């Protein structure tokens, strides 16, 4: 390995995880498991337990292997624990209990994993630059040139759940053609007993996903401009909340998704990804939601550089570190409709994911997943401003000066929070065009048709910039009768679509590939042949068989002609996987270390690329500065 002389190596200290924690032996109830309890505890919770003082208590999320038995309540009562939330669809509870009872609880067979109830805050020309305007209205003709049918793709009939700080339902952006609100239901999970948006983040996000064309002659129209919105408020008046709020919202979605025709979930929030996705309660809830048929879109985060401007890797947020989620990073369009000048923003979080599990020998095993999955415009996006909101009141420079009418007021915000609803709105359009698409098919379509950005590597941009025109064209070409089809049957209704798109007089090739956990795949058969991993209950990464150093196609789940990549590359702007080698993909299979130049080693230390374990605060994926160019400020 060649390292440039003089390169500054910054070693980050890893938390020491103790093997012994908890109560005096005489106070421990009889446990049903002999396994070491620390393996079921989140690293930051272990720190709390080891540093406990007196009668210190903690609010935690406890995941159970199945529906918790009644005797668990009696056990918790004996230790002074209070159950704060029960979830009907998730085998989890939120409770407050003494820190000296945590080890005893973790020792029980019924308990799968315990993590802190971490605190959180929230993390204009998009129709043209994304290609949405090019497919909004479609007509079909017969011989002789007579028009036979006109279709408008605006998300009609699709429900998008906005899990955020609330929505100002009085804003004109959310009215339908009859003046009625498209926010069909609102619920509060903050305890403030209100569902409006005094903070201002959720309203802005919702308008990007589904704002109408009734303001400024449609200049700031959202992607799915006629979709229904489900307002699930998890962030309070100051933009703060807790993991349990998000879990409660996801549990509600799983219960009422059919009642309100919810097909897409937008989460423009995130927390430092500490626990492996296999243990993180947010990731587990996202996987359950995806398995139920919901398309879940999550923000990558805004930790792409440190305070000194040094580029960082390994900072993807939870639940964006979940393989089933569509994880979206932010790009800068510089306010132009053409895409030739588009770049990844400096603040957008890069992969790989550095969440980890700790084995019985106290060794950390990192997930190292390739993320984000794709990019969307996220810099200085104009969206709806809720009445008298906190963000605009404290940052008046964010006012877009569109209108003095409070119901027409618009504001600037930047971050992966703004990129995420562009992908969520696009998913709604795809489902309107082809309602039988599964979450895996939606994710495949978005990545396969994306545009790789020249000069950005795969850990920065995933498959590339979202391409609504290409995604819609491919979605409409896919058969709607593929429920339990065998691998390899034809996927398309007709001929293969042209794998390029022309927008604003610029023609570009599709990525023609997809991200698969620790690698990527490309090949025409991804869109010409049905793959088992496109079915309900699968994720795309299930198609790869892995060892500690090798990867291969699982022929039972994907056709053999699909090819796996071997290197992460800095793209030349053509296909996914074309460009200059940046990193050998095999390094992602080990636990690795990341150097400041993006090279992985093997001792489990993250070097020079940011904070490995965050402070437990779920940060908002929004940047507040309204300066020209790359909006680099971030909010904590």
In whole angstroms, what is the distance from residue 217 CA to residue 353 CA? 42
Instruction: Count Cβ atoms within 10 A of the Cβ of residue 88 and give its class: 0-12 exposed, 13-18 middle, 19 or more buried.
Output: exposed
Final residue belonging to a domain, choices 60, 86, 117: 117
> Does one domain contain both 132 and 153?
yes
Number of domains in the chain: 2
The label of the residue with tokens 């339902």 reads 169
> Does one domain contain both 238 and 369?
yes
Kindly state the average pLDDT of the residues 327-356. 93
In whole angstroms, what is the distance from residue 3 CA to residue 597 CA? 8
Say whether pLDDT at 572 is over 70: yes
Here the tokens at position 132 are 């949405």
> Does one domain contain both 111 and 185?
no
> Does one domain contain both 106 and 146?
no
* Ranges 427-441, 505-519, 618-632: which has the least confidence: 618-632
Residues 6+ apart with CB under 8 A from 534: 438, 440, 441, 444, 482, 491
pLDDT given at position 306: 84
In whole angstroms, what is the distance from residue 529 CA to residue 488 CA? 5
pLDDT tier at 123, thresholds 50, 70, 90: low
> Does one domain contain both 386 and 267?
yes
Instruction: Count Cβ atoms within 10 A of the Cβ of residue 52 and give its class: 0-12 exposed, 13-18 middle, 19 or more buried.
Output: middle
Q: Are 620 and 630 contacting, i.e. CB atoms less than 8 angstroms apart? A: no
What share of the chain has pLDDT > 90, as a percent? 68
Handedness of CA 461, 467, 473, 479 (dihedral sign): positive
Here the tokens at position 517 are 């956990």
pLDDT given at position 290: 98
As a whole number of angstroms, the longest Cα–Cα distance in the chain is 89
> Does one domain contain both 415 and 358?
yes
pLDDT given at position 75: 78
Is residue 488, in this structure, part of any structural domain at all?
no
77 lies in which domain range? 25-117
pLDDT given at position 19: 21
434 sits in the region (left: phi over 0; alpha: psi -120 to 50; else beta) called beta
Q: What is the 3-state secondary structure (H, E, C) of 10-78?
A: CECCCCCCCCCCCCCHHHCCCCCCCCCHHHHECHHHHHHHHCCCCCCEEEEEEEECCCCCHHHHHHHHH
| Pairing assessment for the beta strands 228-233 and 240-242 based on DSSP bridges | unpaired
Is residue 105, in this structure, part of any structural domain at all?
yes
> Does one domain contain both 98 and 219?
no
CATH of residue 102: 3.30.70.80
CATH of residue 456: 3.40.50.200
Is residue 574, in this structure, part of any structural domain at all?
no
pLDDT given at position 594: 59
In whole angstroms, what is the distance from residue 618 CA to residue 235 CA? 10
Q: Are 267 and 165 contacting, i.e. CB atoms less than 8 angstroms apart? A: no
pLDDT given at position 615: 29
Closest CA to 117 of 59, 62, 164: 59
Final residue belonging to a domain, choices 117, 149, 177: 117
Is residue 334, in this structure, part of any structural domain at all?
yes
pLDDT tier at 610, thresholds 50, 70, 90: very low
What phi, psi does 103 have (nearest 5°)? -65, -40
- Look up residue 620 and give its DSSP letter: B
| 504 half-sphere exposure, CB direction, 13 A CA radius | 16
Final residue belonging to a domain, choices 70, 95, 117: 117
pLDDT tier at 593, thresholds 50, 70, 90: low
What average pLDDT does the chain have?
A: 85
Helices 243-256 and 281-291: crossing angle in degrees, nearest 10, is 10
Is residue 533, in this structure, part of any structural domain at all?
no
Distances (CA, A) of 48 to 12, 134, 476: 20, 54, 52
Dump pLDDT digits (tens) for 272-302: 899 999 999 999 999 999 999 999 999 999 9
Here the tokens at position 278 are 């296999």
Is residue 537, in this structure, part of any structural domain at all?
no
- Look up residue 534 and give its DSSP letter: G
> Does one domain contain both 322 and 463?
yes
pLDDT given at position 36: 56
pLDDT given at position 128: 82
What phi, psi does 600 have (nearest 5°)? -95, 140
Is residue 3, in this structure, part of any structural domain at all?
no
Here the tokens at position 340 are 């030739």
> Does one domain contain both 452 and 599?
yes
> Does one domain contain both 227 and 250?
yes
pLDDT given at position 1: 41
pLDDT tier at 18, thresholds 50, 70, 90: very low
Say whether pLDDT at 560 is over 70: yes
What phi, psi does 302 have (nearest 5°)? -120, 35
Here the tokens at position 345 are 């923003």
Is residue 248, in this structure, part of any structural domain at all?
yes
Say whether pLDDT at 635 is over 70: no
Q: Pick the more confident residue, 287 or 338.
A: 287
Q: Are 394 and 354 contacting, i.e. CB atoms less than 8 angstroms apart? A: no
Kindly state the average pLDDT of the residues 596-612. 39
> Does one domain contain both 265 and 179?
yes
In whole angstroms, what is the distance from residue 526 CA to residue 516 CA? 12
User: Which of 75-89, 135-149, 568-582 shows the highest mean pLDDT?
Assistant: 568-582
pLDDT given at position 631: 44
The label of the residue with tokens 């401007």 reads 309
> Does one domain contain both 192 and 329?
yes
* Ranges 70-74, 154-158, 360-364: which has the least confidence: 70-74
Kindly state the average pLDDT of the residues 35-62. 84
Distances (CA, A) of 281 to 44, 65, 245: 14, 12, 12
């Amino acid at each position: 390995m060649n390292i440039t002389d003089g390169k500054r190596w910054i070693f980050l200290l890893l938390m020491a995880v103790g093997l012994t924690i908890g109560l005096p032996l005489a106070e421990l109830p009889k446990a049903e498991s002999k396994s070491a309890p620390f393996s079921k505890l989140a690293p930051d919770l272990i720190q709390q337990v080891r540093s406990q003082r007196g009668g210190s208590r903690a609010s935690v999320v406890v995941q159970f292997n199945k529906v918790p038995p009644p005797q668990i309540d009696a056990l918790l009562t004996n230790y002074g624990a209070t159950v704060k939330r029960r979830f009907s669809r998730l085998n989890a509870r939120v409770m407050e209990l003494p820190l000296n009872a945590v080890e005893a609880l973790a020792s029980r067979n019924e308990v799968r994993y315990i993590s802190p109830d971490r605190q959180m805050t929230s993390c204009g020309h998009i129709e043209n630059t994304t290609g949405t305007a090019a497919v909004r209205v479609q007509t079909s003709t017969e011989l002789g040139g007579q028009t036979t049918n006109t279709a408008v793709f605006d998300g009609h009939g699709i429900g998008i759940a906005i899990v955020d700080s609330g929505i100002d339902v009085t804003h004109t952006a959310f009215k339908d053609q009859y003046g009625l609100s498209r926010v069909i239901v609102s619920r509060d999970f903050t305890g403030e007993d209100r569902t409006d948006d005094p903070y201002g983040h959720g309203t802005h996000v919702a308008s990007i996903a589904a704002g109408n064309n009734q303001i400024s002659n449609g200049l700031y129209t959202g992607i799915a401009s006629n979709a229904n919105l489900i307002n699930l408020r998890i962030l309070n008046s100051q933009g703060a909340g807790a993991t349990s709020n998000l879990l409660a919202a996801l549990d509600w979605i799983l219960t009422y998704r059919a009642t309100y025709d919810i097909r897409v979930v937008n989460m423009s929030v995130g927390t430092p990804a500490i626990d492996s996705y296999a243990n993180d309660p947010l990731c587990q809830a996202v996987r359950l939601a995806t398995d139920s048929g919901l398309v879940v879109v999550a923000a990558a985060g805004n930790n792409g550089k440190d305070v000194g401007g040094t580029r960082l890797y390994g900072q993807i947020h939870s639940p964006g570190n979940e393989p089933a989620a569509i994880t979206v990073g932010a790009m800068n369009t510089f306010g132009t409709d053409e895409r030739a000048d588009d770049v990844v923003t400096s603040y957008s979080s890069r992969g790989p994911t550095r969440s980890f599990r700790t084995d019985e020998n106290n060794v950390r095993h990192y997930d190292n997943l390739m993320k984000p999955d794709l990019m969307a415009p996220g810099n200085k996006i104009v969206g709806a401003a809720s009445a008298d909101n906190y963000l605009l009141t404290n940052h008046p420079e964010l006012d877009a000066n569109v209108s003095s009418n409070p119901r027409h007021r618009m504001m600037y915000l930047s971050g992966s929070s703004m990129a995420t609803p562009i992908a969520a709105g696009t998913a709604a359009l795809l489902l309107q065009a082809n309602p039988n698409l599964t979450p895996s098919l939606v994710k495949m379509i978005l990545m396969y048709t994306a545009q790789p950005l020249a000069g950005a590597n795969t850990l920065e941009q995933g498959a590339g910039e979202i391409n609504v025109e290409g995604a819609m064209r491919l979605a409409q070409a896919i058969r709607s009768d593929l429920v339990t089809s065998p691998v390899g049957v034809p996927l398309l209704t007709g001929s293969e679509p042209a794998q390029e798109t022309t927008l604003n007089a610029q023609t570009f090739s599709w990525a023609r590939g997809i991200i698969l956990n620790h690698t990527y795949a490309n090949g025409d058969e991804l869109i010409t042949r049905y793959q088992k991993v496109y079915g309900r209950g699968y994720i795309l990464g299930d198609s790869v068989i892995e060892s500690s150093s090798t990867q291969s196609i699982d022929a039972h789940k994907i056709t053999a002609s699909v090819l796996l990549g071997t290197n992460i590359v800095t793209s030349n702007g053509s296909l996914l996987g074309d460009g200059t080698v940046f990193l050998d993909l095999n390094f992602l299979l080990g636990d690795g270390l990341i150097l400041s130049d993006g090279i992985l080693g093997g001792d489990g230390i993250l070097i020079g690329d940011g904070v490995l374990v965050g402070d437990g605060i779920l940060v908002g994926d929004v940047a507040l500065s309204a300066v020209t160019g790359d909006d680099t400020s971030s909010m904590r």
